[in-house]
Amino acid sequence: MAAALLANALYSTGFVLEKRALGSLPEVTVRQPFRLLRLVLGSPLWIGGSLALAAGFAAQLAVYRTLPIAAAQGIFVSGLVLLVLLSARLLGEETTGRERYALGAILTALLMVVLSLDEASDTVSRSAPHALVLTVCVPSLALGVWLYASAERRARHRHRLPTTGVDYGVAVGLLYGVSSLAIKGVSSHLTTSAPVEALLALLRSPYPYLLLFTGAFGLVMSQAALQRSRASLIVPVCTTVTSLFTAVLGTLSFGEALPDDPLRLALRVAGTALAVTVLLSMPKHDAPRPAPQPPVGAKELTPP
């Protein structure tokens, strides 16, 4: 539990620092990944944010060794509250009333998932069939990249309203969902006994290669999306998609059984359905900014 709360704080701090650093950089794009990397690696503030995210990754490894996947996701999503507070304080971002209600509904949904857990019957799985993991992950990666490319094409049309970043958040969330499953797989290979054999077994698994792919693509895609959208919206959407993906498909892939008790099963299914419904109903575009009004008492100048 302590490791999960620490991961929350590190992830929230890391995203906010990266967003603040990106605000002072020239526009970045996924079509120029090496330029993007050169720009962000030249920013000490961005490097600080990325180090915080890396420390959050290390804490997440410890969480997956001790908590069921669904329980871990419920705790991770509770960090959205800290993220919104930091975004308002350090970035000056304001959420709309509709977005605040949506965040509250998402937290309620994931609280339902946590309440569906039973310490006596829930188990922490250590392995999953590699073929099943690839069957889940490869189509999800393809869908995430396609959604991101579609959002990029729509964003290039200047006549469209400014995007809130929901599409970007869903796309990056799918990549991070795959990354989360890979982290779970890597954690199952961490052992102090027979470390050489454990390392060889890890290299024969798909997990390190999934981490490399999602790490490279997720870095470029998330930075461009963060620069264009509010962190207080895109990160909660990304986190919710990641958590739902990991809780549902990770539970099935790693064989962590669903609750036998009808009430607990209903809580888990209803919580998942509520979170998905909220995501689908969130606004896709920001409202246009009102035109500036002339100062009161100003006289209109007319040619003679």
Per-residue pLDDT tens digits for 139-174: 999 999 998 888 888 766 654 555 557 888 888 989
Q: Is residue 266 part of a domain?
A: yes
pLDDT tens digits along 265-295:
888 778 777 876 776 666 555 454 444 455 5
Q: What's the confidence (pLDDT) of residue 271?
A: 78
288 is a domain residue: no
String of DSSP letters for the chain: -HHHHHHHHHHHHHHHHHHHHHTTSPP--TTSHHHHHHHHHT-HHHHHHHHHHHHHHHHHHHHHHHS-HHHHHHHHHTTHHHHHHHIIIII-----HHHHHHHHHHHHHHHHHHHT--TTT--------HHHHHHHHHHHHHHHHHHHHHHHHHHT-TTSPPB-SHHHHHHHHHHHHHHHHHHHHHHHH--SSSHHHHHHHHHTSSHHHHHHHHHHHHHHHHHHHHHHS-HHHHHHHHHHHHHHHIIIIIHHHTT-PPPSSHHHHHHHHHHHHHHHHHHHHS-SBPPPPPPPPPPTTPPPP---
Range of the domain at 70: 1-120+128-281
Q: Is the distance from CB of 168 to CB of 148 less than 8 angstroms?
A: yes
Q: What is the pLDDT of residues 92-148, one digit of tens each?
A: 777 677 767 777 787 787 778 777 766 566 566 667 888 888 998 999 999 999 988
Would 144 be classed as within a structural domain?
Answer: yes
Domain membership flag for residue 300: no
Looking at residues 220-244, what average pLDDT do you find? 82
User: What's the gap between Cα 100 and its chain centre?
Assistant: 18
Measure CA 20 to chain center: 18
Nearest to 61 by CA among 119, 23, 4: 4
Query: pTM of the predicted model, to two decimals?
Result: 0.73
pLDDT band at 52 (very low <50, low <70, confident <90, very high): very high
Domains held by the chain: number: 1
Write out pLDDT tens, residues 74-108: 677 667 777 777 787 777 777 677 767 777 787 78
Environment class of residue 105 by beta-carbon count within 10 Å: exposed (0-12), middle (13-18) or buried (19+)?
middle
Is 22 part of a structural domain of the chain?
Answer: yes
